[in-house]
Amino acid sequence: MKLFFTFYGKESIPKLHHFFEYYKKLGVTNFYAVYHTYGSDNLEVLDYVMKNAMVVKIWDGVFDDRIKIKLINEVRLKFSKYSEWSFTVDCDEFVGISYDEIQTIVNSDFNYVQFKLIDRVSIPPLKTVIIDEDIGDTFPYYTHLTKDNVGGNTNKVSLSTREVIIGLGYHYVVGQSEQIIKLKRYPFNGYVNHYKWDGKIKENVLDRVNKSLIKDGSNNDYLIECNRLLQIDFNTVELIEKPLEMKLLFIVWSFQDLNLLKQFFNHYESLGVTKFYCIFHTYGMEDNIIYDYVSERAIIVHHWDEQYTVEWESRLKNKYKKEIADYIDEWIWCVDADEFVDITQEYIRELLESECNYVNGWLIDRFSEDGLVKVKNENIFSQFPVRTFYTRYVSKGSASKIPLTKSYVILGVGHHVVLNELYNYGVQDDTVLVPYNVNEEDWIEVSHIKWHYQLLEDIYNKFTKTMDICKHSARELGVFVLDYCYKKKSIIDIIKDVRL
């Protein structure tokens, strides 16, 4: 694999050492560099880079991100083959990805990957990078300096094929109308560790502001960011926890509510999920906007077009829950696209430190007056404020849910129970199951947003499909649809006897 980057004369040789070593471990064999002199050559840095990379361009002009990205796009086209994947990063950006994940990406039919920048610091105080220490140990803390203090864009297109035209700062890809190929983003939501904040950060930035930036209007945005950086008091920087970077497996149907799906992804990303995996069930329908949207946000591990049964759904979930795990003890979310757990990241972090292997939950049906899902700042809980046990007491369905388990835990139908110890189910597994929350009063809430307007209307309009659903699993949904759509009852009237 190839990697393209820019550097300048005041770059840190120890940081460059870690940069080259890190990407070599990820399979990079050829480094291509654009050298920006910033008006002051440093032959020691230049010699070091030339021992590890091919310097294909020397840039001695005005500091301008437009020129920088133009040169990078040009050298990518010149030194890459058609459809060849490569990294495009700065010397302080270390993409959080594994060698195996890269192989999956380069063998796919996608053509670019977008990441989020997360800053790494060593305060207090700021350290100087040395070769003998792992760079992750030098910068042990996480923060959002670029986003919160500097006001910079944290999106990064760090991995793409040759033909994809990357925008300013590698923050995005340019519009489809300007591309020479059809853009197809790989559904990966990982991080780029940003090792910018070393002991000489202010000194180097001040030097750029005073000597290198030509105030002709082309550098105003960057100059603003530099001045904000110079005002940072690193003793008061807010630190954050290490990103959880968890995985989630879900199943979705063609008639899902698009707004609910947007809320679904936003909700679980806020809980630390960075990789989504989907079993997509079409019910014999053509792919539509839901499929297109999901395929941009999640890896579709199974395109399911056979007749639906709950038993087959359970088999698929258990199969892919194991397959997507990198190691046997990895925790994997397994929920439906209308299920939202009501917990915090702090709860999850305590769970991951425990010796348990699954979490118990209660299914709490949540309703609203109009049943409409809106994509806005309010979370789904505030949009659907009425909590009920409708499934449990009206539909007489199972209200227990197991939303989070280690990869080897076998889930029963509807992920209501775990099966490893239940030999009468034919599961020969002597795994000792240890729940994180044994007492029912400690079970977490799994909010069920199944009762939204668009889904009910869609099911009513596809009445033959509704019968198929009712025959195999969600009879309570069929009853509700008939009451709501056919008898024209309001949602509040239907649930008035089961509100919590």
Q: 321 with 217, same domain?
A: no
36, 117: one domain: yes
The verdict on residue 484 lying in a domain is yes
Place of tokens 């807010």: 238
**Selection from 329, 336, 348, 334 nearest residue 407 by Cα:** 329
Q: Which mean pLDDT values do the consecutive 10-residue runs of the chain (500 residues) have?
A: 92 96 98 82 87 90 78 95 96 95 93 96 90 95 95 95 94 88 90 95 84 56 85 92 95 85 95 95 71 92 83 92 94 96 96 95 90 83 90 82 95 87 54 90 93 72 53 59 68 67
Same domain, yes or no, for 283 and 168? no
Whether residue 341 is contained in a domain is answered as yes
DSSP classification of residue 264 = H
Q: How many residues does the chain have?
A: 500
Who's near 105: CB < 8 A, 6+ residues apart?
Answer: 85, 113, 159, 186, 188
Pairing of strands 191-194, 93-95: antiparallel
Q: Is 135 exposed, middle or buried (0-12, 13-18, 19+ CB in 10 A)?
A: buried
Q: Are residues 265 and 340 in the same domain?
A: yes
Q: What is the CATH number of the domain that holds 136?
A: 3.90.550
Whether 466 maps to a domain, the answer reads: yes
What is the structure's pLDDT at 89? 97
Which structural domain, as residue segments, surrounds residue 89? 2-240
Domain boundary among 240, 269, 292: 240
**207 and 285 part of one domain:** no
Structure pTM?
Answer: 0.86
Is 75 within 8 Å of 146 (Cβ atoms)? Answer: no
Of 211, 240, 269, the residue at which a domain comes to its end is 240
Would residue 500 count as lying in a domain? Answer: no
Tell me whether residue 137 is in a domain.
yes
Examine the domain organization and report whether 190 and 253 are in the same domain.
no
What pLDDT does 500 receive? Answer: 57
Identify whether residues 207 and 252 lie together within a single domain: no
Whether 25 is covered by a domain: the verdict is: yes
Q: Are residues 68 and 210 in the same domain?
A: yes
Count of domains for the chain: 2
Q: Are residues 305 and 402 in the same domain?
A: yes
CB 162 within 8 A of CB 86: yes
Same domain (yes/no): 292, 204: no
Does residue 340 form part of some domain? yes
Q: Are residues 126 and 231 in the same domain?
A: yes
3-class state of residue 259 by DSSP: helix
Residue 174 covered by a domain: yes
Domain end position, chosen among 240, 268, 300: 240
185 and 303 in a single domain? The answer is no
Placement of tokens 């100087």 in the chain: 128
